[in-house]
Amino acid sequence: MFFSKKAFFYILTDLLTNLFFGMVIFLFLIVMIQSFSLSEDIINFGADIPSVIKIISYISLSFLPIIIPMSLLFALLMTYSRLNMESELIALKSLGLSTKTLFLPALVISLGCSFISSQLSFYIAPWGQKKMAQLFSELAQSRVKLNIKEGVFTTKFKDVVVYADKISRDKSEIDRLFIYNDAKDINPIAIVAQKGFFKTQKDTTGAFGFIKLTDGHIHKTSESSHTKVSFNENIINLYDPKKFGSIKKKPILMSLPEIKKTMIDSEKNSRIHLKAEIELNKRWALSLASLIFSFIGFGIATIIQKRQSKSNGFVACAVLIIVYWLLFVSSENLAKNNKLPVMISLWSANMIYFITGLYLFNKSSKI
């Protein structure tokens, strides 16, 4: 097999350039989408410019393990599509370079992306998720605001659902209020009040937010009874800085050692063990997606028609990412619902793309 150092670095440089542009494009799109979904919370908590910059940074770190495989696929399709369109692949093959030699730069960069993606996925991304949760906790403690709308059931408060019929413009007075508390350690409680007054109070631990209710009833149910209590005044805490300060340890916030420890400490058939196992396989699958994408990206880019290769490269990139993500999310749901074993469901998307990639790579070798 003839090897050309000059051709290798020529293709590798083009791949790295397109990889960088792909990361910028996908990172911008994801940050914009996430910013829209978090904009209401940012406004309500009164986040300043440094806090917004921190949020964007943490979002970027959290999504980098997903962005890297997508950017690599973009780079592969753009680079090899251009080489194909400008007949450079034919010229390189005429010099004695085989398909495997032309694929070598893609293989090298995909291995590097897989390694970086795995480190980000198991250590950096969870850190970013935790820092973002802590930042929102700090913002919630520093400034409390009534974040409910008229005629809408609000579920943003911990274990509490709130419905208000009418709210004053400054959101300090509420008419005809319904509150449902479904905390795990108590029986469900429903509160109906004719009037409510939202107030805030600060101390050394942070800001409290509570509603002072007047002229209402408390309905408490158990397995065999129903209790109704009338009141003239009652106070309901909606924001407690101590609760905001404690961040629940979810698998998505755990590093690799923490996930393994959770799996060892929990019972094998428990829900906690299942979530940790899903998270572990999910991160490994996403980390190795870069390596798998190298075969399918190279194969498609080298067999598409020359006249349409550049436009087809963009379309192919979008389609491949959407299909992969749909397969991945669907398989994750199957694992969560115990319909398929975790190993089979979480790796099914990778296996489908790997088999397809090998087929396309073999087909491109015969051209």
Residue 1 confidence (pLDDT) above 80: no
Top mean pLDDT of 112-116, 270-274, 299-303 is at 112-116
pLDDT at 245: 44
More confident residue, 366 or 97: 97
CA distance 272 to 293: 31
Q: Do 18 and 70 touch, CB atoms closer than 8 A?
A: no
CA distance 140 to 51: 12
CA distance 293 to 279: 21
More confident residue, 187 or 124: 124
CA distance 220 to 188: 6
Nearest residue to 364 (alpha-carbon basis) of 42, 77, 30, 168: 77
pLDDT at 99: 85
Average pLDDT over residues 23-44: 80
Residue 57 confidence (pLDDT) above 90: no
Residue 244 confidence (pLDDT) above 70: no
Average pLDDT over residues 69-91: 88
**Confidence band for 271, pLDDT divided at 50, 70 and 90:** confident
pLDDT at 242: 52
pLDDT at 112: 94
Quickly count: other Cβ atoms within 10 Å of residue 3's Cβ.
Answer: 12
* Contacts with 108 (C-beta within 8 Å, 6 or more apart), sequence order: 12
Average pLDDT over residues 115-143: 81
Kindly give the interhelix angle for 271-303 and 49-85, rounded to the nearest 10 degrees.
Answer: 40
Q: Do 14 and 79 touch, CB atoms closer than 8 A?
A: yes
Quickly count: other Cβ atoms within 10 Å of residue 25's Cβ.
Answer: 14
Residue 246 confidence (pLDDT) above 50: no
Residue 107 confidence (pLDDT) above 90: yes
Residue 16 confidence (pLDDT) above 50: yes
The mean-pLDDT minimum among 203-212, 268-277, 284-293 falls in 203-212
DSSP for residue 367: -
Average pLDDT over residues 76-102: 86
> Which residue ranges make up each domain of the chain?
5-141+250-365, 154-241
More confident residue, 270 or 293: 293
pLDDT at 113: 94
pLDDT at 313: 66
Average pLDDT over residues 315-326: 87
DSSP for residue 150: B
pTM for the complete prediction?
0.74
Could you give the residue ranges of the DSSP H alpha helices within the chain? 5-44, 49-85, 88-94, 99-119, 125-142, 241-245, 256-265, 271-303, 309-336, 342-365
Q: What does the DSSP assignment read for 195-248?
A: EEEEEEEEETTEEEEEEEEEEEEEEEE-SS-EEEEEEEEEEEEEE-HHHHH---
CA distance 229 to 231: 7
